[in-house]
A and B are shown apart, each in its own frame.
Chain A
Amino acid sequence: MFERFTKDARAVVVQAQQEARALRHDRIEAGHLLLALTAVEGGAARALDACLPGLDGLRARVRAEIDGLDPDALASIGVDLSAVRQAAESAFGEGALDRDRKEKRGHLRFTREAKKVLELSLRVALSNGHRFISDGHILLALLMLPESAPVRAMRNAGAELENVKSAALREITAEAA
């Protein structure tokens, strides 16, 4: 399957691992794939950018979804996460509130859901009669999992999923031409 991946799609897979590492996560989740799709300049990033008021907001939402510790959600009930973090760190040292995960060397593994996304990207390519899999196909594959953290993040960031879908379809159709 990977031999069908375009340069951008390969870059997304590599970038997803870097996104996971940067967050000190020990697995590559579907959310890291979405972070990577926003970071690699390609059809998927263009499609997302066209449907959202800025990719930074989406990235923040994805991180909050993956991490669970959402500063905005806490602020909505009057809890100042930065104050709590400061208190915890002054007593227990830097990173005291971070999820307790060891930094992993070598390749990170994909979660079952992230694997599913990559498999679905092949299905998206086949159903569109494409012999290649680009970052746009990966985005369309993500959209097939409406309950996943990255798709929740897209909705919470204010994206109309139908618009993202049609923008991504336009991108992959243009790439095939």
Chain B
Amino acid sequence: MTDGEQLAREAGSRDPAVGLRAVRALRELADRLETLQVGNARSLGWSWQEVADALGVSRQAVHKKHRNTETSLFARFGKDT
């Protein structure tokens, strides 16, 4: 059995400690990818509405969550992104 198969089997783990820890880590990962992608979209000139539509949430929600990270992302990736 490959590592991948072993891992996939554990995905059905009935141990809540394992399962819940995975959920938490996945949520954290999704959050960071979201920050990254929203920053990129905004620096490419996407409007908040376009970003919100792509994420399937309201414009208010996405703006509230990401308006503060925007400047730092611009600074981080520079003008070439």
CA distance A92 to B17 in the complex (A): 33
Q: How many residues of B contact A (CB 8 A)?
A: 27
**A100 cross-chain contacts in B, Cβ below 8 A:** 35, 69, 72-73, 76
Chain A contact residues, majority secondary structure: loop
Chain-B contact segment, one of A29-37, A69-77, A106-114: A69-77
Q: How many A-B residue pairs have CB under 8 A?
A: 68
A128 to B: closest C-beta gap in Å: 33
A134 to B: closest C-beta gap in Å: 33
Q: Which of A88, A92, A102 contacts B81 (CB 8 A)?
A: A92
CA distance A100 to B76 in the complex (A): 9
CA distance A71 to B4 in the complex (A): 14
Q: Which of A68, A77, A93, A96 contacts B22 (CB 8 A)?
A: A77
Q: Do A77 and B29 touch across chains, with their CB atoms under 8 A apart?
A: no
CA distance A84 to B11 in the complex (A): 18
In the assembled complex, A79 has its CB within 8 A of some CB on chain B: yes
Residues 9-54 (chain B) with a chain A CB within 8 angstroms: 10-11, 13, 17-19, 21-22, 24-26, 28-29, 32-33, 35-36, 40
In the assembled complex, B8 has its CB within 8 A of some CB on chain A: yes
Q: Do B77 and A69 touch across chains, with their CB atoms under 8 A apart?
A: no
A103 to B: closest C-beta gap in Å: 12
Q: Do A70 and B72 touch across chains, with their CB atoms under 8 A apart?
A: no
CA distance A145 to B40 in the complex (A): 40
Q: Which of B11, B19, B36 contacts A78 (CB 8 A)?
A: B11
In the assembled complex, B7 has its CB within 8 A of some CB on chain A: yes
Q: Do B29 and A76 touch across chains, with their CB atoms under 8 A apart?
A: no
CA distance A70 to B40 in the complex (A): 25
**Top 8 A-B pairs ranked by shortest CB distance?**
A68-B28, A73-B25, A73-B21, A70-B25, A77-B22, A77-B11, A78-B7, A76-B10
Instruction: Tell me the B residues contacting A by CB distance below 8 Å.
Output: 4, 7-8, 10-11, 13, 17-19, 21-22, 24-26, 28-29, 32-33, 35-36, 40, 69, 72-73, 76-77, 81
